[in-house]
Chain A
Amino acid sequence: MLVAGGFTLSRSDSMLAARLDGSPDPVEASDRLLLDRIRLGLQLVLAGVAIVFVGELVVHRGERPLISIIQAINFAAVAMALHFVRDASRRGFNLAVGFAAYAVTVVAVGAVGIISRDATSPVVLLVGLSVVTGTLVPWSPGWQLVSVVLVAATGIWTVATIVESPHLFWLQNIGAIAPTLGSTVFISYALQRQRAAVERAERERRSREASLREANRRLEEEIQQHRKTEDALRFAIRELDHRVKNTLATVQAVADQTVRTSATMSDFSEAFYGRIQAIARIHTALAVRRWEGLALTELIELVVGPYRHHAGSIAVECDGTFVSSELVRVLGMALHELATNAAKYGALSTRDGRVAISSRLDSNGTDRLRICWSEHSGPPVRQPLHRGFGMKLIEEALVYETEGDVTLRFLPVGVRCEIQLPVPSSPA
């Protein structure tokens, strides 16, 4: 279920990303379109001016230098405008330069018309300009049509009037220019609004998609979290199963060995229950600590503490060394055997007997934990007649499992056991 969900989500996420990153930006596209249209308009105007300029030189053979100069200036202005209108993102600049070139052309055409006392050519040129402007601005075809019809009607009206009364020339010119300029300004305004609407819609779309993506990401995170928890849980259950089985195996082995080394049933039950109790206490303490281990002092208190007659019986002098859960199990059993032996035959069998337990951590190269168990003031000690399972646990188990070193001595003054264990560099 979760897996299927994760798959669907990541798929839709990548589609989203592709849409966001792969598609052209509408705002940039509209800037680009405007630039292209302004440049196309300017190129058409430049071509028209060039034709008029060359035509003037050919027809009048340099007889009217003023007209040629005006036309040359006009040509230069439009060419300059074309040179500067290049960057699509400089929208305002492009519009201003385009209009400036347009205005220069209108004035130049008008001036030439005045100087040459010819109204028809300027009107034709102006109508051409109007058509260029009206059709090129990116506007709806209906409005373009209206613009062109308006301009064409003005042009026809102007020509018709001028034939009757040439002295009204300027009025006609203005009549021709006004609707063109008016429509252009209006078109520009409409474009501005259109562009703002497009930008707003785009911003909204992006913010919607961004919040969608954010929600998606959070969902993905949550799913990951769930999956981790599930894995951890599954691992914990398996670990628990492992520990239970190992513990049962240990209990079975302890029972076997205890039976083998017990002379009577009561010997067996005393030794066996003591061992099981110690294992159980260690287990409980480790479970509370989530199997991370125990402080050495805590472990000593757990397994040796129950044999204390009074506060002075057992003196513990240990630093805060922390013992891993694996080591706790085997070290705890060894300490338990030392304690039961002391309680049965050694210093803890009398009120006056004392046990001193000390430890220190040697850190040269690898860390070694040294624990010293030392009994005194108890009954006189005799060398045991046979090696029981307890002694085996003390002397062999730690050495076997940790590659440590254990020396157990039955000195006349009391049992002395020195334990050296390699421990991983300490997490204090």
Chain B
Amino acid sequence: MSTLSLRGARILIVEDNFVVADALRYLIDGYGGSVTAIVPTVQRAYEALDAGHVDVAVLDINLNGASVVPLADHLLERGVPFVFLSGYGGEELLPEHLRSHPRFDKPVEAERLVRALLQVTRRDPAP
């Protein structure tokens, strides 16, 4: 394991598949991050954002057929950074202004995801 650390980062996971979301939670726990919630829908994500502070979000692009784009726009407005997770290879599901955000194909490589989370939250990779 590397020396990467997410210590102190509060992270929201938006992913419709429970098993994948739960595994991500363990992954982030393993790097010292704190998962504020795992949620399967955009609606639940709004509720989680209202309930407590979030430093960064991991967004599955397609939530059981629903697009995550409205939530991404909302996060942009609130100034909460995020990265995308996708079962789709292409970026055709994302509008132009969201394509520059980090995007990972499933299944995700733990270290790459963690590095991206650190980068978007402008954290030092090694504390």
Please give the residue numbers on chain A whose beta carbons come within 8 Å of chain B beta carbons, in ascending order: 238, 241-243, 245-246, 248-254, 256-257, 260, 326, 330, 333, 392-393, 396-397, 400-401
Contacts and interface: CB of A to CB of B under 8 A. Distances in A.
Nearest to A275: B19
Contacts of B62: 242
B73 interface: no
A245 B19 contact: no
B87 interface: yes
Given A241-B89, A245-B105, A253 B16 contact: no
Interface stretch (B1-9, B21-29, B116-124): B21-29
B106 interface: yes
Given A246-B87, A248-B107, A400 B18 contact: yes
Contacts, number: 69
A401 B26 contact: no
A282 to B, nearest CB: 13
Band of interface residues on B: 20 to 34
A238 B88 contact: yes
B18 A249 contact: no
B65 to A, nearest CB: 8
Interface of B: 16-24, 26-27, 38, 40, 62, 64, 86-90, 105-108
A241 B87 CA distance: 7
B121 to A, nearest CB: 23
A257 B17 contact: no
A243 B19 contact: no
A392 B40 CA distance: 16
A241 B86 CA distance: 11
A370 to B, nearest CB: 21
A396 B24 CA distance: 15
A248 to B, nearest CB: 5
A246 B40 contact: no
A132 B88 CA distance: 86
A246 B106 contact: yes
A241 B26 contact: no
B19 A393 contact: yes
* Most A CB within 10 A of own CB, among B17, B19, B88, B105: B19
A220 B26 CA distance: 55
Contact of B87 (A245, A326, A397, A401): A245
A396 B18 contact: yes
The secondary structure that dominates the B interface is: mixed
Given A242-B62, A243-B87, A245-B87, A250 B20 contact: yes
* Most B CB within 10 A of own CB, among A249, A251, A330, A396: A249
25 contacts: A238-B90, A241-B88, A242-B88, A243-B87, A245-B86, A245-B107, A246-B17, A248-B106, A249-B17, A249-B20, A249-B87, A249-B107, A251-B107, A256-B23, A256-B26, A256-B27, A257-B26, A326-B64, A333-B19, A393-B19, A397-B18, A400-B21, A400-B38, A400-B40, A401-B18
B88 A253 contact: no
Contacts of A238: 88, 90
A248 B107 CA distance: 6
* Closest 6 pairs between A and B when the two form their complex, measured CB to CB: A253-B23, A249-B106, A397-B18, A252-B107, A249-B107, A245-B87
* Most B CB within 10 A of own CB, among A251, A252, A393, A396: A252
A253 B89 CA distance: 19
B63 to A, nearest CB: 10
Contacts of A254: 19
Given A242-B87, A400-B40, A401-B17, A253 B22 contact: yes
A253 B87 contact: no
A330 B18 CA distance: 8
Contacts of A257: 19, 22-23, 26
A190 B64 CA distance: 79
A245 B16 CA distance: 14
Contacts of B19: 250, 253-254, 257, 333, 393, 397
A245 B19 CA distance: 14
Contacts of A333: 19
B16 to A, nearest CB: 6
A381 to B, nearest CB: 26
A419 B88 CA distance: 32
A245 B108 CA distance: 10
* Most A CB within 10 A of own CB, among B16, B18, B88, B108: B18
A248 B23 CA distance: 13
B20 A253 contact: yes
B16 A401 contact: yes
Contacts of A248: 106-107
B33 to A, nearest CB: 16
